Amino acid sequence: MSELPQGWVNAALDDIAIVNPGRIEGLVADTSVSFVPMPAVSDVDGEIVNPTVRPFAEVSKGYTQFREGDVIFAKITPCMENGKIAVARSLENGVACGSTEFHVVRPLGQNSPDYIWRFMRQNSYRADAEAVMTGAVGQRRVPAAHLKESRVPLPPLPEQRRIVTKIDSLTGKSRRARDHLEHIPRLVEKYKQAVLAAAFRGELTREWRASSDAKTAKHEPNSIPEGSSTARSRVRKTAALTPDQISGMWDGPNGWRWSQVGDCAFVTKLAGFEYTKHVKYNASGDLRVIKAENAGPHGFRETEYSRVSSGAVAMLDRSRLVGGELLVVFVGAGTGNVAVVPEAEDFFLGPNIGMVRPRPDVAASRYLELFFRSAKGRELLLATSKAVAQPSLSMGAIRSTPVLLPSVDEQAEVTHTIDTIFSWIDRLASEAASARKLIDRLEQAIFARAFRGELVPQDPNDEPASVLLDRIRAERGTAPKARRGRKAKAST
Amino acid sequence: MTTTTDIVAKLWSLCNVLRDDGVTYNEYVTELTYLLFLKMLEETGRESRLPENYRWGTLAKREGMEQIDYYKAMLLDLGKAKDGLVSAIFTDAQTRLRKPTNLKALTSNIDQLDWFSAREEGLGNLYEGLLEKNAADKKSGAGQYFTPRQLIDCIVRLMQPQPGETVQDPAAGTAGFLVAADHYIKQQTDDLYKLPEAQAFFQRHNAFVGGELVPDTHRLCMMNLLLHGIEGGVELIDTLSPDGEALPKADLILTNPPFGTKKGGGRPTRSDFSVTADTSNKQLAFVEHIVRALKTGGRAAVVVPDNVLFEDNTGRRLRTWLMDLTNLHTILRLPTGIFYAQGVKTNVLFFQRGKSDKANTRAVWVYDMRANMPAFGKTRPLTVADFAEFETAYGSDPNGGAERKDQGEDSRWRMFSREAITARNDNLDIAWLRDTEAEAEEALTEPEDIAAAIIGHLKAALEEIEALSEEIEPDSVEEAAATAEAAE
């Protein structure tokens, strides 16, 4: 046991409070009381927030009773771990009936419930309580005995109040700081979308256009890229734009042209029959399989890949990926997600995810990825999705999707600028997240200091806590409890 | 002969030419400052204040690289001039112009200005327009020296500066408040013509006083005042140092002290400070200065961030002291997103120094212009109309004495008695409307506005943590900052 400051005593909770004092005597049946079911206590703030009022007769049976100034402590998982621990205040007629899943701690001898509450809300206290929970899975509870025996460093009464005031002044600031930081993730998302919107209106590259020789976008009919081993002579005709698609388009700057995906890229997927007939997953295969889950809302995601052996799928070379292709999820929850296959890596294109291989002289995959991740670009992509409950995209729909293209050089400039900005804001967001975690640790460190007596100076004129304990013991008279003669030492 | 408006238009378009050449608004307005000053001295017959070899005429008639070289030498030497005003303008002066054609374009345009009519016909507006563009240019960081025009005008209309009054801005920035007060007085007095000569002289030379810490900003401040016919008055000083004690006492103080903590956690060094001597919070210290700088019965309007209203310890002591020595009759809670400096929550305090030092505040009226307001920013700028309801509620007495009516819990305008405030531990961060800040932020669409909101939250979080650190360990902030500075 570490050194406690002058005037302090290391007490058991049982020495300074009654745990579960039992039913309240002498209440008339029609007295109004507060009713506090578990949902009425906020775990974030550790407060009773939404109590209702009921006549005592209605709630006197089957609920735990407690009084103004008691500390209630949720015993059941996960309420306890989450922090449903509160000081009962502003109770109707000073009395409440609440969930039986609360232990009730009634401070004795004018010990401050606010002090005790702050002590019990510490992460360390809760962790200790969690470690001793008993009971069946889903019904685990903290035994009352643990609470009774838990050690509480007890300062003199006036110092208890000074500590509470000081803690509140400090945590007021940390709470406000954390509150500010919590606004940031949402704002970062909005920021990224706003940047994408500006990018595809041509605003990010306006100065670049003015300073360099801008080339207008090339616009050529679709043809399968040279060098593909399955160059077929058949040319797919891209469907005309639908009214929905047209209404989703916007004016780009001079030199930018609207095209359709099918006119600037080769679009394909693994056909159903191909999958059924030829694709057998094989854990020792040499080729990783790309599925819909690899294209997340923010781009390419590594997963535990299924594998196939390259020999077994040798004839499906339309589905061989070599890196740099654009992926589009066309069915299921992730419909509309786009991602780029990592450069120079081999994969096999699996089910539910389409592949777009742009003509390098017309469009770049990264540009298309960002275009279809922007809000308006995504709307264009999904404009033709047929099912309402489960949106899906046909290859024809993907091919017909309009896309606004600047010259290939400007596409590179656009993506480079976006990447630079995003990496800046991501750094900021990550710093904010780290700061948030640090604030949590800071608060716990403040508490730890407070309960070691190092936050607030001691006043030698305060009546020592040992005297207070003696007084409490005397008032209780000869205690009926078995465990007297415990370790509580009085420091003088 | 070309009119002023033509010349001003040319100077604006020249600004854009130079921008493409890499000259920022800040650099351009500074460049103009040097040249306009020299021209002004020539036009007003005061070139004797300059060393003999440096005159507007000699500069204007040179050509090509020779002109640029002469100009550079001039800037260097004038920074060391004996005349106080001259050296203030040219301290550390440097030019950003590299092409002789650009310098020539500037000098030949300015050469054609008729100084007096130019001042009346738009040169001042050009200058202030540039200052505003400079402030809006987030990279320049100049936003912190600039209070939005609409807010300044609203405050001046309510405070009603009078001829003969000493008006002080202890954090003058680029002189926005002082120029606005001067403009208001000129409107009431037919441009000072209605005043006897002695009083007009006072208005031009002694009425407006203040301090500004940063030399570059001070330069722009002096020029802005000169363009409005006001000479001198704002010193290059740190108001929170003993120099601030020497500022003339004022009938009216209008100011927007800089945001943020004093770098390195330093304390004010004035001997007359009693409440804020031990804090690194600059705004609290400025409030103490303002109260001490007011004459008996003098009035003030001060822009302060939220933490001045709720911070404990020194903050609370300051507020209690403020409400004793002055009648703090009105607080205006400002909406977010209106400042060029990134997202701080601010308020305007309106108060009058009492005859005694005790219990001068009996009630505080609060107008909440923050809750349920649009998200101000590039796409939704602040307008005069936004303040109309507040100005009506404030009433026609600058000291808050007009008849006022509490409009109830659902309105923006409520009264709180001194007792009610005491019950809140003198916390003046009073809000009663449901705050829809999250919704205001949801409505932002421009990247700059959103980035500003993010940075605002980060800064606010940082300030809370700094305040927390200081409360736990008062010297740790200084030590940490000293270590950081040593490492730089």
Q: What is the pLDDT of residues A50-80, one digit of tens each?
A: 889 999 888 888 899 999 999 999 999 999 9
Q: Does A177 touch chain B (CB under 8 A)?
A: yes
Residue B340: what pLDDT? 60
Name the amino acid, one letter, at A489: K
Q: Please tell me which of A476-480, B179-183, B211-215 the model is most confident about, judged by mean pLDDT.
A: B179-183
Beta-carbon separation of A173 and B450 below 8 A: no
Q: What is the pLDDT of residues B265-308, one digit of tens each?
A: 567 788 888 888 877 788 899 999 999 999 999 999 999 988 89
Pairing of strands A338-340, A326-329: antiparallel
Q: Where are the alpha helices (DSSP H) in B21-169?
A: 25-43, 56-61, 64-78, 84-90, 100-111, 115-118, 124-136, 149-159
- What does the alpha-carbon distance between residue B171 and residue B255 come to, in Å, rounded to a whole number? 6
Chain A: give the shortest CA distance to residue B141, in Å.
18
Residue A36 contacts residue A48 (beta carbons within 8 Å): yes
Q: Does B441 touch chain A (CB under 8 A)?
A: yes
Residue B262: what pLDDT? 52
Residue B439: what pLDDT? 67
Q: How many CB pairs under 8 A join A and B?
A: 74
DSSP 3-state assignment of B48?
Answer: helix
Average of pLDDT values for A420-441?
91
> What mean pLDDT, rounded, does chain A reach?
86
Taking CA–CA distances from A455, the nearest residue in chain B reads B472
Beta-carbon separation of B464 and A435 below 8 A: no
Residue with tokens 């000869």: A478
Residue B272: what pLDDT? 87
Q: Does A180 touch chain B (CB under 8 A)?
A: yes
Residue B138: what pLDDT? 57
Average of pLDDT values for A79-107?
93
Beta-carbon separation of A191 and B458 below 8 A: no
Beta-carbon separation of B438 and A174 below 8 A: no
Say if residue A385's pLDDT is above 70.
Answer: yes
Residue A223: what pLDDT? 41
Residue A4 contacts residue A66 (beta carbons within 8 Å): no
Residue A225: what pLDDT? 46
Q: Does B445 touch chain A (CB under 8 A)?
A: yes
Say if residue A308's pLDDT is above 70.
Answer: yes
Residue A460 contacts residue A6 (beta carbons within 8 Å): yes
Say if residue A280's pLDDT is above 90.
Answer: no
- What does the alpha-carbon distance between residue B364 and residue B380 come to, in Å, rounded to a whole number? 30
The partner residue sitting opposite B454, judged by closest CB among A174, A184, A455, is A184
CB burial readout A186-225, b (16+ within 10 A) else e:
ebbebbbbbbbbbbbbbebbeebbeeeebeebeeeebebe
Q: What is the pLDDT of residues B63-86, one digit of tens each?
A: 989 999 999 999 999 988 888 888
Residue B357 CB contacts under 8 Å (≥ 6 apart), including other chains? B324, B325
Residue A484: band (very low, low, confident or very high) from pLDDT cuts 50, 70, 90? very low
Q: What is the pLDDT of residues A127-183, one digit of tens each?
A: 999 999 999 887 899 999 999 999 999 999 999 999 998 998 899 889 989 988 998
Range name among A110-114, A247-251, A365-369, A473-477 with the lowest pLDDT average: A473-477
In three state form, how does the secondary structure of chain A look? CCCCCCCCEEEEHHHHEEECCCCCCCCCCCCEEEEECHHHEECCCCEECCCEEEEHHHHCCCCEEEECCCEEEECECCHHHHCCEEECCCCHHHEEEECCCEEEEEECCCCCHHHHHHHHHCHHHHHHHHHCCECCCCCCECCHHHHHHCEEEECCHHHHHHHHHHHHHHHHHHHHHHHHHHCHHHHHHHHHHHHHHHHCCCCCCHHHHHHCCCCCCCCCCCCCCCCCCCCCCCCCCCCCCCHHHHHCCCCCCCCCEEEEHHHHEEEECCCHHHHHHHCCCCCCCCEEEECHHHEECCEECCCCCCEECCCCCCCCHHHEECCCCEEEECECCCCCCEEECCCCCCEEECCCEEEEEECCCCCCHHHHHHHHHCHHHHHHHHCCCCCCCCCECCHHHHHHCEEEECCHHHHHHHHHHHHHHHHHHHHHHHHHHHHHHHHHHHHHHHHHHHHCCCCCCCCCCCCCHHHHHHHHHHHHCCCCCCCCCCCCEECC
Say if residue A375's pLDDT is above 90.
Answer: yes
pTM of the predicted model as reported, rounded to 2 decimal places: 0.70
Q: Quick one: what percent of chain B has pLDDT higher than 70?
A: 90
Residue A478: what pLDDT? 52
Say if residue B1's pLDDT is above 50.
Answer: no
Average of pLDDT values for B331-336?
91
Beta-carbon separation of A446 and B453 below 8 A: no
Q: Does B461 touch chain A (CB under 8 A)?
A: yes
Residue B159: band (very low, low, confident or very high) from pLDDT cuts 50, 70, 90? very high
Residue A386: band (very low, low, confident or very high) from pLDDT cuts 50, 70, 90? low
- What ipTM is given for this predicted complex? 0.78
The partner residue sitting opposite B441, judged by closest CB among A169, A173, A183, is A183
Residue B476: what pLDDT? 46
Residue B181: band (very low, low, confident or very high) from pLDDT cuts 50, 70, 90? very high
Residue B101: what pLDDT? 87
Please name every residue paired with A64 in a beta bridge, in sequence order, or none if there are none: A98
Beta-carbon separation of B471 and A170 below 8 A: yes
Beta-carbon separation of B461 and A435 below 8 A: yes
Cis omega (within 30 of 0) on the bond before B258? no
Beta-carbon separation of B461 and A180 below 8 A: yes
Q: Does A433 touch chain B (CB under 8 A)?
A: no
Beta-carbon separation of B457 and A181 below 8 A: yes
Q: Quick one: what percent of chain A has pLDDT higher than 90?
A: 56
Residue B140: what pLDDT? 56
Q: What is the pLDDT of residues B402-411, one digit of tens each?
A: 999 999 888 9
Interface test with B, best of A171, A174, A176 (most B CBs within 10 A): A176
Q: What is the pLDDT of residues A12-28, one digit of tens each?
A: 999 999 999 988 888 88
Q: What is the pLDDT of residues B334-372, one digit of tens each?
A: 987 777 655 568 899 999 999 999 999 999 999 999 888
Q: What is the pLDDT of residues B453-487, one digit of tens each?
A: 888 888 888 888 888 887 777 654 444 444 444 43
Q: Does B312 touch chain A (CB under 8 A)?
A: yes
| C-alpha distance from residue A471 to each of A254, A461, A480, B114 (Å) | 87, 18, 17, 92
| Chain B residues touching residue A181 (CB < 8 angstroms) | 457-458, 461
Residue B216: band (very low, low, confident or very high) from pLDDT cuts 50, 70, 90? confident
Say if residue B32's pLDDT is above 90.
Answer: no
Say if residue A490's pLDDT is above 60.
Answer: no
Q: Does B471 touch chain A (CB under 8 A)?
A: yes
Beta-carbon separation of A188 and B454 below 8 A: yes
